[in-house]
Structure 1
Amino acid sequence: MRAKLIPDHVPIVRKNGISATYNLINFVNGMIGPGCFSVAMAFKQGGLWTSFFLVFFIGTVSTISMHKIVRCSQLLARILGDQSLDYGEMAAAAFRNSFPAIHKYGKAAQFFVNGCLIFFQVGVASILAYFDVDNPFSDKVMLLLYGVPATVINMLKDIRAVTFTCLVGNIFIFAAIGLILEELMTSKHIWQELPWITSFDSVVMCAGSLLYSFEGQAMVLPLENKLKHPRDMNGWTGVLTTGMAFVTIIYTYCGFYGYITYGNAVDGSITLNLPDNTVNIVVKILLVFVVFFGNVLQIYVIAEMIWPPVKKRLEKGETSKFLAVDRRLRGSIDMLGLAVAVPNLQQIIPFIGITAGMLLSLIIPAVLDVVVFLPPKLADGESKLRISLFLAEDVFLFVVGLFFLVSGLQSNVKSMMHS
C-alpha cells in the first residue's frame, strides 16, 4: 500500500464541513420516510415474533456494515490525502491500494457499486413518489402538482440547504408517526391470532422488505464527506450508531403495532388501512410534505455520485455550462424517479431490498473490508487469531447476505410469476 499522506494521530478537519448534529438530522431524514409505514407489511410476511427479531437483526448488521464502509473510506482518505470518496470511488480506491493482483479490477468495482447505488436510489425515489393520498385529480394532474415543485427544490446543491429541507421533512414525518402510533396503540389488537412465523419464502421476503426500509447505505459516505470532523461518524455515540438505534426503535413500533392492529389485512403501507377520519386525513396530507422534502436527500445522493465524471467531460472554466448541465442532470433524475414509480409495493420493495439493498449493505462492505484492511494486517504481522476473528466477521456478513440474496431472488421470482 502507498505511504500514508496523513498520519493516524492527526485528526482530519474539513473547514467547510457541517456539524455532527446537522449530519444526524440528514441521516435520520434519509432513513425515516414513508417507508417506515411499510414495515407492518414485512411483519405480515415473516410472522409477528420472527419479524420482531429480524428488525433488530437487520438493523444491527446494517449498522456494522455502515461502520465498515466509513472506516474503509477514512483509511483510504488518509492514504490519498483526505479526498472525498463516494461509495463507488471508495470501492475503486480499495482495489487499487490492496493486493497487486486485484489492482486492475478497481474500475470494474466502481461501475458495479455505482450500478447498485443508482438502481437502489432510483427505486427508493420511485416508491417515495408512489406513497399517494386519495385525491380527486387524475394521475397527470398529480404528476404536475408534485413533479414541478419537486424538480425545483431538488436543484439544491448546498448541503446546509439540504439539511434545512431535511429538518422540515423530519418535523412532518415525526408528526405523522406520532398521530399514526397514537391511532394504532389505542386500537383493538389481535396479536393472539397472528402467526409467530410463516413460510421460508415469506420470511426471506420479510428480510428484503426490512432491508429496503433501512435505506441509508447509499447516503452514508456522501454525508461523511460533508462532516467537519469525520471521526464523529463512528463510535458508540457517533452519528451512525445513534441514528440507527433511533431508526430501529421507530421501525419496530410502526411494524409491530401496525401488524397487531390490522393483522393479515395490512396493506403495503399502513396509511392505506387508515379510515378517512379527520386525524388520518391530516396524516396523509403530512405525508405528501414528507415525500416532497424527503426526496431531496435521495436525489442529492444520486446527483453527487453522477456529477463528478460528467463534470470532467465538460470544458474547464465555463461555469455557466457547468451550472446548466448540473440543473438538467438533477431534473432528469427526479423525473426518472417519477416515471418509474410503481404501485405494487408488496413485490417491488422486497425485490429492491433483496438485490441492490443486500449487495450494498452486507456483501460489498464485507468484501471491501477484507480488501482494505487485510493487507496492512498481514504487513504489520498481526497474530493469526486476530486475523481469523477479523475474517470470520466479514465471512459471516458475506454468507448471510449471499443467502438472503439467492433465496430472496428465488422467492420474489415465484411471487411475481404467481401474480
Structure 2
Amino acid sequence: MVRNIHAMSWICLFGNVLMTVSLMIILIKVISAPHIHTSALPAFTDIKGTVMAAGAILYALEGQALVLPLENKMKYPKDMIGWTGVLTTGIALVTLVYAACGFYGFITYGENVAASITLNLSNSPIDFSVKIMLMLVVYSSYLLQQFPVVQMLFPFIKRPLRARKVRRVYIISLEFLFRFVYVFITCKSNIPVSFQFSSLVEQKKFLYGNFVGLSWLIPNLDDIIPLFGGSAGMTLSLIIPPTLETVTFFNEWRYKRSKKYFIFHICLNIFYATLGIFFVVTGTQANIAKILSR
C-alpha cells in the first residue's frame, strides 16, 4: 500500500492523464454527433429537478475533505487558494467539463440522455476503452480520497500504541489493516453486470461514500448522488462555513469594522445559510421521494 503523499501524487497524475484522454474522446463524440435543435428540448425543469440537479452538481465539486490535508502537505500552501490557486483552478475546470458534457449530451441524446454520459456510450472498441480508462481513474485516485480519512482517524489508534512502546513494524501493519478494512467497508458491493464500467460517477459513489451498505440497498446510484450532494454537500458548503465565520469574527466585525461592513457580512452569511437550508430541505425531500417511488 502507498502511504507517501508524493507517491500518491504520481499515481493520481496517471489517473488525470487517463481522465483527460477519456473526456476528450467523449466531448469529440458528442460535439461531432448530430444534434437535436434546442427549440425541441425543454429549457428548464421543475423545482424538484432543479434542487436535485444542484445536489448532483455540488457532488461533482465536493472536495472539502481533501483541501486542508493536501494544503498542509503542499510545498507552497498559499498556492491552494486565490484566483489562480489549485482549488479555484480545479473547481473551474470541473465546472466547465460538467457543463460541456451536460449541454452537448442533452442536445445529442435528448430525453434519452442517461444519468451519466458514459451510460450512453456504445460497446464499440473506443467507447469500451473509455469505460476501462475511467475505471482505472477511479482506482488510481482512491488513494488520495482515502488519505484524509486515514490522517484523521488512525492517529487515535496510533498514539496509545506508541505510549505503550509497541514496535513500529506492528503499528505500520495495523495501519495497513486499517486501510484494508476501510476499503472493504466502502467498496464491498455486488455490482450488477449492467452497471460494470458504466459510469465514473456511479463507481465513485461505490468507492468513496457507500458506508452502511447503501450500495446494496439502492442500486440506482443516480438517485443517491443528488441526495449526498444536496444534504451533506450543501451543509458543508453553504451552511457550516458562513455559520462558523459569523461566530468566529462577530465581535471583530462589530467593534473593529465599520457598520456597513458588519451589516453586509452578516446579511451575506445569512443569505448563504438560508440558501443552503432551502436546498437541504427541498433536495432531501425530493430525492427521498424519488428513491421510495422506485
Counterpart of 1:321 in structure 2 is 170
Matched, 1:387 2:236: no
Identity level (%): 40
Pair 1:172-2:18 in alignment: yes
Q: Which residue of 2 aligns with 1:331?
A: 180
Q: Is the 8 A contact 1:362 1:397 kept in 2?
A: yes
Q: CA deviation at 1:309?
A: 2.1
> Do 1:211 and 1:354's aligned partners in 2 also have CA atoms closer than 8 Å?
yes
TM-score normalised by the chain length of structure 2: 0.85
Note if contact 1:268-1:345 (Cα within 8 Å) is conserved in structure 2.
no
1:204-226 per-residue CA deviation (whole Å, 9 max, x = no partner) reads 11111111111212111111111
Query: Residue deviations 1:117-173, cap 9 Å, x none?
Result: xxxxxxxxxxxxxxxxxxxxxxxxxxxxxxxxxxxxxx3221101111110010000
- Distance, in Å, in 1 between the alignment partners of 2:175 and 2:136 is 25
Contact 2:118 2:131 in 1 (8 A): yes
State the SS of the aligned residue for 1:395.
helix
Amino acid at match of 1:334: V
In the alignment, the residues of structure 2 paired with residue 294 and residue 246 of structure 1 have an alpha-carbon distance, to the nearest angstrom, of: 17
Tell me the distance in 2 between the aligned counterparts of 1:217 and 1:389: 26
- The answer to whether 1:255 aligns with 2:255 is no
The AA in structure 2 aligned to 1:265 is: N
Once the two structures are TM-superposed, the CA of residue 308 in structure 1 deviates from its matched residue by 2.2
Distance 1:372 1:156 in 2: 38
- Secondary structure of the corresponding residue to residue 29 of structure 2: helix
Deviation at 1:195, TM superposition (A): 0.8
Structure 1 stretches lacking a partner, 5+ long: 1-154
d(CA) in 2 for partners of 1:211, 1:269: 15
- Secondary structure of 1:373's counterpart equals helix
Would the aligned equivalents of 2:27 and 2:101 in 1 still touch at CA under 8 Å? yes
Task: Provide closer, same or farther for how the CA distance between residues 346 and 236 of structure 1 changes in structure 2, counting only shifts above 3 A.
Answer: same
CA distance in structure 2 between the aligned counterparts of 1:331 and 1:210, rounded to whole angstroms: 30
> What CA distance in whole angstroms lies between the structure 1 residues aligned with 2:108 and 2:114?
12
Q: Any idea what SS the aligned residue of 1:157 has?
A: coil
Matching residue within 281, 287, 291 for 1:412:
287
* Cα distance, 1:372 vs structure 2: 2.4
Structure 2 regions of 5+ residues with no counterpart? 190-205, 207-214
- How far apart, in 2, do the equivalents of 1:376 and 1:156 lie? 44
Partner of 1:315, secondary structure, is: helix
Aligned partner of 1:359 in structure 2 is: 235
Aligned equivalent of 2:137: 290
Given that residues 33 and 108 in structure 2 are in contact (C-alpha distance below 8 angstroms), is that contact kept between their aligned partners in structure 1? yes
Q: CA deviation at 1:327?
A: 0.9
TM-score normalized by the length of structure 1 = 0.60
Whole-Å separation in 2 of the counterparts to 1:357 and 1:210: 10
For residues 14-413 of structure 1, what are the structure 2 equivalents within 5 Å?
155-190=1-36, 191-316=38-163, 317-318=165-166, 319-339=168-188, 341=206, 342=215, 343-378=219-254, 381-413=256-288
In structure 2, distance between residues paired with 1:278 and 1:351: 34
Q: Aligned equivalents of 1:306 and 1:263: distance in 2?
A: 45
Q: Distance in 2 between matches of 1:160 and 1:211?
A: 28
Contact 1:212 1:350 (C-alpha < 8 Å) held by counterparts: yes
Letter in 2 for 1:338: C
Tell me, in whole angstroms, the C-alpha distance in 2 between the residues paired with 1:324 and 1:391: 50
**Count of residues in Structure 1 that have an aligned counterpart in Structure 2:** 264
Equivalent pair of 2:253/2:261 in contact (CA under 8 Å): no
Alignment-mate amino acid for residue 11 of structure 2? T
Hey, what does 2:196 align to over in structure 1? none
Distance 1:387 1:311 in 2: 44
Rounded to whole Å, the distance in 2 between the matches of 1:398 and 1:311 is 37
Q: Give the partner amino acid of 2:117.
A: I
Amino acid of the structure 2 residue aligned with 1:400:
L
Aligned counterparts of 1:400 and 1:310: Cα–Cα separation in 2:
39
Residue 287 of structure 1: SS of its match in structure 2?
Answer: helix
Q: CA deviation at 1:174?
A: 0.5
Measured in 2, the distance between the counterparts of 1:230 and 1:372 equals 23
Partner AA of 1:219 in structure 2: L
